[in-house]
Amino acid sequence: MKWSKFTLKTLSEAEDIVISALADVGVEGVEIEDKVPLTESDKQQMFVDILPEGPADDGIAYLSFYVEEGQETEGLLTRVREALDELRSFMDIGECTITAGETEDKDWINNWKQYFHQFYVDDILIIPSWEEVQPQDKDKMIIHIDPGTAFGTGMHETTQLCMRQLKKYVTADTQLLDVGTGSGILSIAALKLGAKHAVGTDLDPCAISATKENMEANEIAPEKMDVMIGNIIDDKEIQDAVGYEKYDIVVANILADVLVPLTPVILHQMKKGALYITSGIIDDKEETVVNAVKAAGLEVLEVTHQGEWVSVTARKA
């Protein structure tokens, strides 16, 4: 079987949010090509001791998606272009030119599984459904996560930075708001750490099914978490549904360019004294986010780093 291949040129820093926008208009899977160096964790997952040096990161990413030959593409491409134009209104996504090609059939469903294996974030074991928990790990905190339908496997430094902060601050009374919940991994981690309830918001409709599946895999009761689809930055309906001044912790693992407009808005959802845990911040954007947090009247408590990524934790006065 042949497939039509469409490749979109964007910025590597904007990969996640562009992919999310593509999902919103019906693109079900995206192949990523960039020159972002592999982290040590990435290398460990690939079972390779020494990798050749790659080319220097030029900040460019190519995102490819596939449509079965014979299926209508004109409407899909129109929706894609409209979604990209909307993104451009509030962040830099690069050229976003789209080129067309053709490719032979592949096993899209299973090929990626060879790169994702169980691993630890400190003392938390994260494991996909196709691997078994070893006897020595039975007593550990275990999070079962399947990637593929939504973002958030725990492998990325930004997710790990947030998880460490949640370990530090979650209590039995914690009401959590998870902005950009993706697979629900941060909410699930918080609930396993004892949080009372979580609400997740996301732009990607896949987040609902992915989070529910991962909640079930982790034996999290349905009433412990709600997921809402929409942009909490400017959607009053979502803001109202999420509620005001009711959260003890807000966690937002998103791009810095989204955190800046999000921060003054999300204050209204936070209780007095609530914590704001952010990541998705590349190191050269640290000052930008810290300044935005301070400008919103929040007190910066901690700035933590892993690799080239940053997490900022602050408190509402």
Higher pLDDT, 29 or 252: 252
Q: Which of the residue ranges 118-122, 171-175, 252-256 has the most confident prediction, judged by mean pLDDT?
A: 171-175
pLDDT of 287 higher than 90: yes
Higher pLDDT, 132 or 259: 259
The mean-pLDDT minimum among 127-131, 189-193, 307-311 falls in: 127-131
pLDDT of 186 higher than 90: yes
Q: Global pTM?
A: 0.67
Question: For all residues of the chain together, what is the average pLDDT?
Answer: 87
> Mean pLDDT, to the nearest integer, of 21-25?
88
pLDDT band at 3 (very low <50, low <70, confident <90, very high): confident
At residue 51, the pLDDT reads 43
At residue 305, the pLDDT reads 96
pLDDT band at 209 (very low <50, low <70, confident <90, very high): confident
pLDDT of 46 higher than 50: no
User: How do residues 35-44 score in pLDDT, each as one tens digit?
Assistant: 776 555 444 4
What DSSP string describes the chain?
-EEEEEEEEEEGGGHHHHHHHHHHTT----EEEE-PPPPHHHHHHTT-S-----PPP-SEEEEEEEEETTS--HHHHHHHHHHHHHHHTTS------EEEEEEE---TTTGGGGG---EEETTEEEE-TTSPPPGGGTTSEEEE---SSSS--S-SHHHHHHHHHHHHH--TT-EEEEET-TTSHHHHHHHHTT-SEEEEEES-THHHHHHHHHHHHTT--GGGEEEEES-TTT-HHHHHHH-SS-EEEEEEE--HHHHHHHHHHHGGGEEEEEEEEEEEEEGGGHHHHHHHHHHTTEEEEEEEEETTEEEEEEEE-
User: How do residues 58-74 score in pLDDT, each as one tens digit?
Assistant: 889 999 998 887 778 88
pLDDT of 101 higher than 90: no
> Mean pLDDT, to the nearest integer, of 272-276?
98
At residue 231, the pLDDT reads 94
